[in-house]
Every structure is written in structure tokens, then in C-alpha cells.
Structure 1
Amino acid sequence: MSDAWHLNDYQRAIEALIADAMAVHGEDVVTDDLIDEVIDGTFPKMTDTLYAELSRRSSAMLREHRKIRKGFVRRNFRRWRAGFDLLEQLIVISQETGQAINEALRPAAIEANDALFEAVITNHARAVQVSREIMTLMIGGFPDGALARWRTLHEIGVTSVFLSQQGPTVAKRYILHDHITSYKRALNYMEHHERAES
């Protein structure tokens, strides 16, 4: 950008103020405290100026950075399209299979109050959501974030296998634990929401 601001301008301004202080007080009396005083006196004005300049330019700045980002995503998708397509196919197959199983078996599971079915099908939905997050992060160029979510996906899979092996009693405890965690989060939100919203 032609009118880009530079931190060097602010560095030079601070150096000039310190030089002025040295001229007035003498070079020997320039201490860290004097430098801190100069910076503390100047910094609020500088930040106001910087904020005003960034606010004035924000539309153009955001437009430019969004254009750069879109270009990166387009190139990244083009380069890795074969892999992205395979992953997305797997996600869609998994989602549609889970949906079909849920629709076919849910009435009987409700009738039997089947905690294992509820736990596994809920984990499946979470797994699909996390898989889509992984896909979005990879297309966006965030491989470390995608890998972190992939670990979460693995944990969901391991949990589902464990629940399937242990049966309905453990599944019921798992569901109850999830409800308790949600309740604690709600209490935490109620306790702190005013501070978070201000």
C-alpha cells in the first residue's frame, strides 16, 4: 500500500524526544526513568494517531488483506484438490451414513431408552463437525490447527469404541457427565457474562 504507516516514524519521534531531553538535562542525566517518562508522555498521543490512521484506512486495508487471503485459499485448494476431494467425500459418506442409521434406529432407541445409541450417535455428529473444521482449516492453510482438531477427532473415535465395548451403563454415565459439564459451563457463563460482554 502506498500510504502504509511505519513504526519507524514512531521510533524516530521517540528518539527525537529523548534527544531533546538530553539537550535540556544533559547527556549524563538521561536515565531509564527519564526515557520511560518520555515514552509514557508520548505513547498515548501516538496510539491515538495510529488508531485514527488505521480507522481511516481500515476499509482499504481489510479489502486488500481479504483479497490476499482469497488468493492463497484458491491456490492452496487448486494444489491439494485431489486430497481435499477425497477427505470431503469421506466426510459426506460418514455424515449420510450416520444420518441414515440415526433415522432408522432412533425410534427403537427412544423406546428402549438406549443410552449407548445416544452416546455413540452424538459422538458421530461431533466427529462430522470436527471433520468439517479440519477440512476448513486445511483449505485455509492452517495445518497445525487442523492437526490439533484431528487429535480431537481421534479422541472422539476412541471414546466411541470404548463406550461400545463397555455398554449402556458406562454410556449413561458418559451422557450424565456431559450434562454436568454443560451445566457447569452455563453456571460459569452466568457468573462472568457481564464482564465478558463489557
Structure 2
Amino acid sequence: MFKKFSRSRPVDDDEFFSRMISDAVMDKVRDGFDLERVDELVSKTVPRFIDDMAPELAASMMRNKRSLRGNKRMERGYNKRMRKQWGRAFDLYGVVHAVSTELGEKVANREREDLTSAQKHTLEALTGLHVSASRIAGEVLALLSQGYPRGALARCRTLHEAAVIACVIADSAADQDHSDLAERFLDHEIVTLRRDALQFQKDHEILGEEPLEQEYLDDLEARYDEVIAKYGQEFRREYGWAKKFSPDDNLRALEEKASLSHVRPHYQSASSEVHCGARGLGRNYIEMRGVTLRHAGKINVDLTWPADLALSSLLQVTFSHAVQGNPDGPTIESLICMRALEEMRSACLDAFVAAQAAIDSAEEKIVKRMQR
């Protein structure tokens, strides 16, 4: 049997576990144990060893206040440097984000009378998209300020999708042939709800969850049948709501309709941070002072690109909501605000570029000193 783990033994001893296993095996050999049965011994005893050791190791790690204090000191130092290097850029990003959100709130909360059904649906869809875009843009800022530009890039992907959908819905608002696009978009919710519900119902037991109530499922099925009868079988597809507007009902085709196809390369690159494929693994490396490192934590560089993508998409959604798809039409206030937002966005990106340039310059000086 393995010896009991001593709580006084340091858990950071890299040789400890292998030594324990080796000692146990050698004890058996001295007792006349056949070396050919080592595999059998290990297969039987290692699971018990792991079961015994894991709780004690976890408890010891959680008691390790020294490591916790060290990590907190590193975190404070990192945040202080990030603020010093990128503070101006973060502040301007926050201003653009806040003004855009406030403009969307004004458009959504304005009292209106005598809106047509199509106008109501357009306002509802664009308001919802703007709310989502504002929240995601805030998430991008949070990720950037914490040193996770690749995580921010992943959220930029969703922001781009919101921008594309907002643009095509706003474009169709005044199109008599496609004025029902917003209604189709909103009605498509039931397709996703039903799909998710059926998947959950299939897997609820293995998840350890209670099944969905049959009454709820019956309601979903009835609503689903209604929209399929209303729009046709193709409505079941992911972008089935756009089939009438775009025969090729996919995001790429909608990008063409929204004149945003030029963003496709950025979107594809951002997708590698969402789907864990081999391409995304290639981004796990970073060059630092002539050395290639695997990057598993925070960094203080490469923040400009996701900031640019996020603000571009946010302003596109804001324009669609406040100007192009506004049932009141473009007002002087909304036009002035959009122009001001563009000015602030430009200043914000200049601040990001300047911060990166300052870091690059400082790094070059360090490398030169190292090469002397």
C-alpha cells in the first residue's frame, strides 16, 4: 500500500509523486513481487492513490496564501501598467460606448403614435440589436482592459453579425417588397427555441436535469407550426428569416447586401478565437525579445485591432437604429450625434495606435540594451 500523504510535505516538490510510486514498487519487489506484474500493480493502485491524494492536494493548494498573495501583487502591477499605457485609449472607448448607448436609449424610448406594423417590428428588432451590440462592446472593453485582446476579438465576431443584420433590416424598412424582414427576424426566435428545447429534452438525463414540461413543449411546437405555415419550410434554416430578402440565406450573402463583405477577412480571423481549430492554436504564440513564447495569459499589446472592429460594428448598429431604420426618419439630433461619434471613434483609435507605438518604442530600446 502507498504511504499516507504527509501534510507537512511541500506540495510543490516536483519529484514527490514519482518518488512515492517508485518507492512503493520497490517495496513490492523486495517482497518478491515479479517485475512483470508492475503494470498490474500500477493499474490497481494508481486510481486509489489518485482518489486519496487529490482532496489533500486541492486543500493544500487552496491554503497556499503565499502563492495567492504573489498572484495578487502581480495582478496589481499589471493593472497599474495597463492603465498607464492604455488609460487614455480605454477612456475614449468608454465615451464612444456611453454616447452610442444613450443615443439608442433615446430612440427606443421616444413616444410615438400611429406606427405601422412593419415600423413597430423594425423598431423592436433594431432596438434589440442595439442593446446587444452595446452590451457586447462593453464586454470587449472589459476584455481589452484585462489584457485579453483575443477574447475581445471573439466578441467582435458577434458584433459584426449584429451590424450585418441591423443594416439589412434598416435597409428593408423603406422597401415595400421586404418591409416584413424585421417581423420575419423576430418570428424566427421560435425556430431556435424549439431546436434548443428538443436538444435539451434529448440530453436532460445525462445532464442530471429535470425534463421540460410537456405543456411548454406543446406550446413551442404549436408556435413553430404557425411560423412554418406562414413562411414556408425554408424558414427552418439558420438564416431562414432572410430567405425572401436574400435567396442565399447565409451571413456571407447578407454581408454583400449590407455592403460589409470587406469585413469578411476580419470575421474569419476572429472566428478562429471562437471555434477551437488548428488555426486558433497558431495564435497561442507570441514573439518577445527574439524569443517565441506560448501565450496562455494576459498581454499588453495588440489591443488596437479588436478595439477598431468593435467600435466600427457598434457605430454601424447605432446608425441603423438611430438614423436609417428610425420610424421618425433621420433627425438633426441623431445625425449630429452620429457625426460626433465618428469623430470620437477616430480620436479613440489614434489613442490606441499611440499607446501601441509607445510600447513598441520602449521594447526596441530594451532589446538594443540587451544586444550590447
Instruction: Give the TM-score of the pair, scaled to structure 2.
Output: 0.45
User: What is the number of residues matched between the two proteins?
Assistant: 192
Distance 1:87 1:186, change over 3 A: farther
- CA distance, structure 1, for counterparts of residue 152 and residue 10 of structure 2: 33
Distance 1:130 1:151, change over 3 A: same
State the one-letter code of the partner of 2:184: R
2:94 aligned to which of 88, 97, 109: 88
Distance 1:33 1:7, change over 3 A: farther
2:27 counterpart of 1:14: no
2:48 counterpart of 1:35: no
The alignment's C-alpha RMSD in Å is: 3.1
Distance 1:58 1:173, change over 3 A: farther
Whether the 8 Å contact between 1:84 and 1:135 is mirrored in structure 2 is yes
- CA distance, structure 1, for counterparts of residue 73 and residue 199 of structure 2: 39
Partner of 2:75: 69
Whether the 8 Å contact between 2:140 and 2:156 is mirrored in structure 1 is yes
- CA distance, structure 2, for counterparts of residue 174 and residue 58 of structure 1: 53
- CA distance, structure 1, for counterparts of residue 32 and residue 89 of structure 2: 67
Whether the 8 Å contact between 1:98 and 1:124 is mirrored in structure 2 is yes
Distance apart, 1:169 and its partner CA: 0.7
- CA distance, structure 1, for counterparts of residue 79 and residue 199 of structure 2: 37
Distance apart, 1:137 and its partner CA: 0.6
Q: Deviations over 1:160-192 (max 9, x none)?
A: 001112234110111111355356556767884
Whether the 8 Å contact between 1:119 and 1:171 is mirrored in structure 2 is yes
Distance apart, 1:93 and its partner CA: 1.4
Whether the 8 Å contact between 2:25 and 2:38 is mirrored in structure 1 is no
Q: Deviations over 1:113-171 (max 9, x none)?
A: 41011101110111000000000011111111100001111110111001112234110
Distance apart, 1:43 and its partner CA: 1.6
Whether the 8 Å contact between 1:102 and 1:121 is mirrored in structure 2 is yes
Partner of 2:273: none
Partner of 2:112: 107
1:54 aligned to which of 57, 61, 65: 61
State the one-letter code of the partner of 1:173: R
Flag structure 1 segments of 5+ consecutive residues without an equivalent: none
1:165 aligned to which of 162, 171, 177: 171
- CA distance, structure 1, for counterparts of residue 69 and residue 200 of structure 2: 35
Moved more, 85-94 or 176-185: 176-185
Q: Deviations over 1:55-108 (max 9, x none)?
A: 4x166655553443343233222211122122111111111111122222x534
Distance apart, 1:28 and its partner CA: 3.5
Distance 1:122 1:41, change over 3 A: closer
- CA distance, structure 2, for counterparts of residue 92 and residue 99 of structure 1: 11
Query: Would you tell me which structure has more helix in proportion to its own residues?
Result: 1
Instruction: Give the TM-score of the pair, scaled to structure 1.
Output: 0.79
Moved more, 70-79 or 121-130: 70-79
